[in-house]
Amino acid sequence: QKEVEQNSGPLSVPEGAIASLNCTYSDRGSQSFFWYRQYSGKSPELIMSIYSNGDKEDGRFTAQLNKASQYVSLLIRDSQPSDSATYLCAVAPGTYKYIFGTGTRLKVLA
Amino acid sequence: KAGVTQTPRYLIKTRGQQVTLSCSPISGHRSVSWYQQTPGQGLQFLFEYFSETQRNKGNFPGRFSGRQFSNSRSEMNVSTLELGDSALYLCASKVSQETQYFGPGTRLLVL
């Protein structure tokens, strides 16, 4: 079992729809969770961080964390073509490193 | 505040050569981590340096090494390059144990 798992996609959604990206992790002791967006040929950029169970909203983005079920998700409301990218889930299991999933490729269709 | 910078941005080397990549973190950030990104394996952690000491290490062979200087700048060295070392090498810095910020990366092609 991979430490951080994501569906590779592509996940295709129409413009204006809600995109839902999911991530599961194996280390129950993980405390910090992050979503990064990576455009093709570019480096990852941080979208959201979440540390407590529940939802955290920032503009069109909502991160959801459920530590009991060991999953974290990212919702993108009113998806735009400019949101088309690969979304990386990262987990910090309490040590000094991050573990990344392989990413989900999102395609927003105009 | 300036972001993380990496040099060079692109490199072409041949098998057996060695390469040194450089990373300058965001001002005030003392932690620098290095990652290798390939299409097949995704982002894989190489190592992290904090205050000139390697604090954590991923599962890479000893050909991959790094160091950090007193000004927090970091270098990564890969010796005896192999074709499989072709990748995007990313550096990330952070000020605490939490959010890290990535540089633009160095794209290495080994022929």
- Tens of pLDDT along B67-86? 999 999 999 999 999 999 99
Q: From the CA of A23, how many Å to the nearest CA of chain B? A: 15
Non-local (6+) Cβ contacts of A28 within 8 A are A67, A70
In the prediction, which pLDDT does B98 show? 67
What pLDDT shows up at residue A22?
96
**pLDDT (0 to 100) of residue B95:** 79
- List all residues 6 or more positions away from A38 whose beta carbon is below 8 Å from its beta carbon: A44, A45, A85, A86, A87, A88, A103
Closest CA to B98 of A48, A17, A18: A48
In chain A, what residues touch B33 (CB-CB under 8 Å)?
97-98
- The two counts, helices (H) then strands (E), for chain B are 0, 11
Average pLDDT over residues B24-50: 92
Q: Go through chain A and tell me how many residues it has.
A: 110
* Interchain proximity A99–B45, CB inside 8 Å: yes
Q: Do A97 and B31 touch (CB under 8 A)?
A: no
- Residue from A42, A49, A89, A98 whose CB has the most chain B CBs within 10 Å, to mutate: A98
The SS3 of residue B83 is helix
How far does A5 lie from chain B, in Å, by closest CA? 11
The residue-averaged pLDDT of A85-105 equals: 88
Which CA distances in Å does A62 have to A20, A52, A57, B107? 10, 13, 4, 32
Whether chain A has a CB inside 8 Å of the CB on B42: the answer is: yes
In what order do the strands lie in the sheet containing B64-68? Answer: B5-7, B19-24, B74-78, B64-68
Query: What are the pLDDT digits (tens) for B42-67?
Result: 899 999 999 999 988 999 999 999 99
The answer to whether B28 faces chain A, any CB pair under 8 Å, is no
Model confidence over A57-71: pLDDT tens digits?
999 999 999 999 999
Report the distance separating Cα B30 and Cα B56, nearest Å: 14
Q: What phi-psi label fits residue B30: left (phi over 0), alpha (psi between -120 and 50 degrees) or beta?
A: alpha
